[in-house]
Structure 1
């Protein structure tokens, strides 16, 4: 395969030249040196939960400050009628309560969907286990 590698990691030329610049014509590395690579370095870095929670906390505080400013700027009393009830609330508070009611309705619909999907997954898991036991026995 050629001359043995020298201290610099390049093969000596066939003329016996062992200087650091001597080597093959293509400049390729010749030798048995294999770099040792730690497999942990190739694994993706996992983000910690605390950093995500911290970012969510900061975002939540910013949203709360913006809501507080909105409520303070829209403190004009407004008369509301709902079915037989008549009441008065500051406009900002009324809009905030409307947004909270919408979020609760959305969470309720999402919870029902998650519940039905969970039931379906459990049913499919039982079916998979039944098939597995049938094939084994």
Structure 2
């Protein structure tokens, strides 16, 4: 099988520089085998492991925060009065905020999936013509 592609020409040597040798070796300062080693692939297991490590570090910092903020505070919510440690009150508030954000995100995802399903159904309908 022959190809109609043109073969690239050799570049002209730079004035005052070494002639083109046709070698594709790495530059003089590069470590040996630098061009031969493929870039490592990112795997799901590696991403999960990194996420677990970051999560554990966040939990450690959260535990330290809660332990350092043990002063009792009065919290009033919907007519209820509760005395809890400051760190725990802030943690509960953060979790409640996260739940609200997750609920809003879930509602938007459900809406987008419903719209996509409707679009797919209208595209798959045969034309009555």
Instruction: Tell me which interval the TM-score lies in, with the shorter structure as reference length.
Output: 0.5 to 0.7
Structure 2: gaps spanning 5 or more residues: 1-18, 23-38
Q: Tell me the residue number matched to 1:37.
A: none
Q: Deviations over 1:72-111 (max 9, x none)?
A: 0001010112232111000000000000000000000000
CA RMSD of aligned residues (A): 2.8
Question: How many residues in Structure 1 have an aligned counterpart in Structure 2?
Answer: 97
Q: How far apart, CA to CA, are the structure 2 residues paired with 1:80 and 1:27? A: 78
Q: Deviations over 1:112-133 (max 9, x none)?
A: 0000000000000011111xx3
From the CA coordinates, give the structure whose radius of gyration is larger.
1
Structure 1 or 2: larger helix share?
A: 1
| TM-score of the two chains, using structure 2 as the length reference | 0.67
Which residue is 1:36 aligned to? none
Q: Please, what TM-score do these two structures have when normalized by structure 1? A: 0.63
> Taking structure 1 as reference, are residues 128 and 45 closer, same or farther at Cα in structure 2, changes over 3 Å only?
farther
* 5+ residue gaps, structure 1: 1-25, 30-43
